[in-house]
Amino acid sequence: MAPATAEEAATVMMLARRERFAVIPAGAATFIDAGNVLSRSNLVLTTRRLTKMIRHEPADLVATAEAGLTFREFQNRLREKGQWLPIDPPDNGTATVGGVVATGLSGPQQMGYGAPRSFVIGLRAILADGRSIKAGGNVVKNVAGYDLCKLFTGSYGTLGLITEVTFKLRPVPSETRTIVSSGPLISLVTVGRTIARESFPVAVELLSASLAKQLGITVSAGESVLMIRFAGSSRAVVTETASALKELREDSNITCVTHDEDDDLWLGLSNAATQAVNDLSWRVIMRPSDLVSFLDDVASLEQDEASHIGLQWQAGLGDGRLRAMARTPVYHGEAVRALERLRRRAENLGGSLVVERAPAEIKNEIDSWGSFGSATDLMKRIKQQLDPENMLSPGRFIA
Ligand SMILES: Cc1cc2nc3c(=O)[nH]c(=O)nc-3n(C[C@H](O)[C@H](O)[C@H](O)COP(=O)(O)OP(=O)(O)OC[C@H]3O[C@@H](n4cnc5c(N)ncnc54)[C@H](O)[C@@H]3O)c2cc1C
For residues 117 and 211, membership in a common domain is answered with no
For residues 164 and 185, membership in a common domain is answered with no
For residues 356 and 304, membership in a common domain is answered with yes
* Closest ligand 1 atom to 92 CA: 11
Residue 290 is predicted with a pLDDT of 94
Asked if residue 302 is part of any domain, the answer here is yes
The tens digit of pLDDT for each residue in 109-160 reads: 999 999 999 999 999 999 999 999 998 864 434 455 678 999 999 999 999 9
Residue 373 is predicted with a pLDDT of 78
For residues 320 and 230, membership in a common domain is answered with no
Q: Pick the last residue of a domain from 242, 270, 298.
A: 270
Closest by CA to 192, choosing from 282, 73, 320, 343, is 320
CA 365, 107, 269, 239 dihedral sign is negative
What CATH number does residue 90 fall under? 3.30.465.10
Asked if residue 51 is part of any domain, the answer here is yes
Question: What pLDDT band is residue 328 in, cutting at 50, 70 and 90?
Answer: very high
Closest by CA to 115, choosing from 139, 148, 144, 149, is 149
| Residue with CA nearest ligand 1 atom 5 | 274
Residue 274 is predicted with a pLDDT of 85
Checking if the pLDDT of 170 tops 50, the result is yes
For residues 71 and 209, membership in a common domain is answered with no
Q: Would strands 62-66 and 280-285 be described as parallel, antiparallel, or unpaired?
A: unpaired
The tens digit of pLDDT for each residue in 352-393 reads: 999 999 999 999 999 999 988 778 888 889 999 999 999 999
Q: What percent of the chain has pLDDT over 70?
A: 97
For residues 261 and 284, membership in a common domain is answered with no
Residue 144 is predicted with a pLDDT of 56
Residues in the chain, overall count: 399
Strands (E), the chain: 23-26, 43-46, 53-57, 62-66, 83-84, 120-126, 132-136, 141-142, 146-147, 161-168, 170-171, 175-183, 203-207, 224-232, 255-259, 280-285, 309-316, 321-327, 352-357
For residues 158 and 191, membership in a common domain is answered with no
Asked if residue 32 is part of any domain, the answer here is yes
| Residue with CA nearest ligand 1 atom 17 | 31
Asked if residue 388 is part of any domain, the answer here is no
For residues 292 and 354, membership in a common domain is answered with yes
Residue 138 is predicted with a pLDDT of 46
Asked if residue 384 is part of any domain, the answer here is no
Q: What is the mean pLDDT of residues 212-240?
A: 95
Ligand 1 centroid to Cα of residue 32, in Å, is 6
Q: Pick the last residue of a domain from 270, 291, 323.
A: 270
What CATH number does residue 201 fall under? 3.30.70.3450
Asked if residue 382 is part of any domain, the answer here is no
Distance (Å, rounded) from C-alpha 22 to C-alpha 364? 20
Checking if the pLDDT of 32 tops 80, the result is yes
Asked if residue 399 is part of any domain, the answer here is no
Residue 140 is predicted with a pLDDT of 38
Range of the domain at 42: 6-171
Q: What percent of the chain has pLDDT over 90?
A: 88
How many structural domains compose the chain?
A: 3
For residues 60 and 113, membership in a common domain is answered with yes
For residues 164 and 205, membership in a common domain is answered with no
The tens digit of pLDDT for each residue in 291-310 reads: 989 999 998 898 889 999 99
Distance (Å, rounded) from C-alpha 171 to C-alpha 74? 14
Q: Which residues line ligand 1 (CB under 6 A)?
A: 24-32, 34, 47, 67, 89-92, 94-96, 98-100, 102-103, 105, 156-157, 161-162, 273-274, 281, 356-357, 393
**Comparing 199 with 142, which gets the higher pLDDT?**
199
Checking if the pLDDT of 108 tops 60, the result is yes
Residue 372 is predicted with a pLDDT of 80
Checking if the pLDDT of 205 tops 90, the result is yes
What CATH number does residue 299 fall under? 3.30.70.100
Residue 272 is predicted with a pLDDT of 87
Asked if residue 375 is part of any domain, the answer here is no
* Closest ligand 1 atom to 396 CA: 49
For residues 91 and 115, membership in a common domain is answered with yes
For residues 63 and 191, membership in a common domain is answered with no
Q: Whole-model pTM?
A: 0.95
